[in-house]
Structures are given as C-alpha cells and as structure tokens.
Amino acid sequence: MADAFDRELALIVDDMTSPKKRSAMLASFAREQIAKVKIENELAIGRTIRKPRVTVDGRPGAALGTVRPDGTIVALFNAETNSVRWILRELMDISPQLTGAYQRSHTLFADGIEFDLDGGTELPDAKEYVIASDLPYARKLDPDDDLPARSKQAPKGVYAAIAAVAAKRFDGEAAIHFTFRDIPLRNGETKRQPAIVIRPTGGSGEI
C-alpha cells in the first residue's frame, strides 16, 4: 500500500514540476500580477488604461501561455509616454532659438484633442498622438516643396529629422513617422503643418 502511495505522490510531483506545468504556472502568475497592477494604476489615476505591451521571452505581443518554463514575461504600461516625452524634449533642444516662439509652439494632440504634458501629467490613452507647431515658420524648417530647410541651425529640418531617429529608437513600442497634418490655428482656422505622428504598437498579448 505504501509503495502505491509513493508512486502516486511521485507522479503528482513530476506533473507539478514538468516543463509544461511550470510554463502554465508562470503564465498564470504573470496574468494575475498584470491584472493587479492595471487595477492599481487605474485607481491611482482615476481612469481606465489600455492593456500593457507584453513581451514573452523576448517576443513582443506573444501569448503568455507560450512562455518557456524558465522564461521571462515583461509588461510595460503606457509605453508610448516614453516616445512622446522624448520627442517633445528633442524638439525643445534642437529648435532654432531666434525669439523662442517656435520652441514654445510645439503642441501635443491625443486623438485630435490638444493636451498639455507639462510636469508629471499622465499621457491619456489614445490611438494616435500628433505633435505639431502652428507657426508659419515651421513650414520653412520642414518644407513640403522638396527644397532644403531654410535654417542653418537645422539644415535637415526639425520634425523630419527627429521623427526618423524616434522611429528607430522606439521601434516595437510605437509607429512613428513625419507627415503634414491640418492643425488648428489660434485664429480658429486650420493649416497644413509639419507633424510627427505616434501610434502605439505591439500587441498586448494574451492577458
């Protein structure tokens, strides 16, 4: 009788420590922790947030259940904040500073709504973020007539140059590109201006 019990116990232990079982346990634990952190973050800021970007064993967007028995799962919440803040800082740093007006004119739009990201303000969830200047001078720095930028301080342009670097730097976190967008002006009209578009990417995985 004792031998039969020992064999049964051994089978249970082997099942609990099998690679498949360990993977399932790791995925289950990660799923619970991600849900817990999401709820805590939402309570802290008073609004719902999108699911995080999940990387499983180095594979962005992979299902949690595919984790290796000794693998790793990384969940990054609000990843697009990094790219948006970095772009705004770079715009401030490389903007030509004749009067400072252009440097102060860079504006962030979240799904078409102007948003001030000064200080520690949380970036709102959005399908698309657009950064642009409403000043006519912006079109001289990033012209759409295939001519060079009209500035010795930024001969390769400002928005175009930063968008190119940001697209590589944040590949996997956001799709970033330079374009022209209709931007609201202070007089109530709109005008097509140079812009950087940031769209969050990377599947949130099986959560």
pLDDT in tens, 145-203: 777 666 667 777 899 999 999 999 888 778 999 999 999 877 778 899 999 999 987 54
pLDDT above 70 for 120: no
Token pair for residue 25?
């346990």
pLDDT score recorded for residue 204: 41
pLDDT score recorded for residue 7: 64
- Other residues' Cβ atoms within 10 Å of the Cβ of residue 99: 9
Extended strands (E) in the chain = 53-56, 59-60, 73-76, 106-110, 113-115, 129-133, 174-184, 190-200
Three-state secondary structure call for residue 53: strand
Q: Which of 55-69, 95-109, 115-129 has the weakest average pLDDT? A: 115-129
pLDDT above 90 for 71: yes
